[in-house]
């Protein structure tokens, strides 16, 4: 169910797809999304369209800076989120030579009733996967 939005400076289609693949692979490894649950929007930004502070909090950002926003189901523990952040940056560095300082990640957590995967229906309300039910049993949705 995650919806990923990646905003980065202009690059090749191949590189953009590989960056997206790194994010998808990291989500598969750390938060257990199922095979094929891959929905991404990759925005190529021109000069002045991706605004960031190059040294905020002592992090040295370059013109390779990117923002990764992930909307996903609510309920994951902090340690799992931290593992996701770490794995995304590890894969981006290893496969795409993206410096970890150039990767900003934001998670937007939503409930099962906050997403439609098509047909104007909230599929996870109608038929929630067992994995999502266990998250909602813990007081989350």
Active site residues: 2
Q: How many CB atoms lie within 10 A of CB 70?
A: 23
Distance CA 24, CA 28 (A): 6
Q: What is each CA distance from 28 to 9, 33, 43, 51, 130, in whole angstroms?
A: 26, 5, 22, 30, 17
Query: How deeply is 135 buried, as exposed, middle or buried, from its count of CB atoms within 10 A (0-12, 13-18, 19+)?
Result: middle
Q: Residue 107 forms beta bridges with which residues?
A: 70
Query: 3-class SS at 128?
Result: coil
């Amino acid at each position: 169910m995650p919806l990923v939005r990646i905003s980065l400076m202009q690059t090749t289609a191949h590189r953009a797809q590989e960056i997206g693949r790194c994010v998808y692979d990291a989500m598969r490894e750390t938060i257990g999304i199922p095979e094929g649950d891959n929905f991404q929007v990759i925005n190529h930004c021109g000069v002045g369209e991706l605004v960031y502070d190059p040294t905020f909090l002592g992090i040295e950002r370059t013109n390779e800076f990117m923002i990764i926003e992930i909307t996903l189901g609510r309920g994951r523990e902090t340690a799992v989120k931290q593992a996701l952040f770490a794995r995304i940056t590890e894969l981006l560095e290893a496969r795409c030579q993206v410096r970890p300082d150039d990767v900003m990640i934001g998670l937007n957590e939503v409930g099962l009733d906050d997403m439609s995967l098509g047909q104007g229906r909230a599929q996870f309300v109608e038929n929630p996967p067992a994995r999502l039910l266990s998250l909602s049993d813990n007081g989350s949705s």
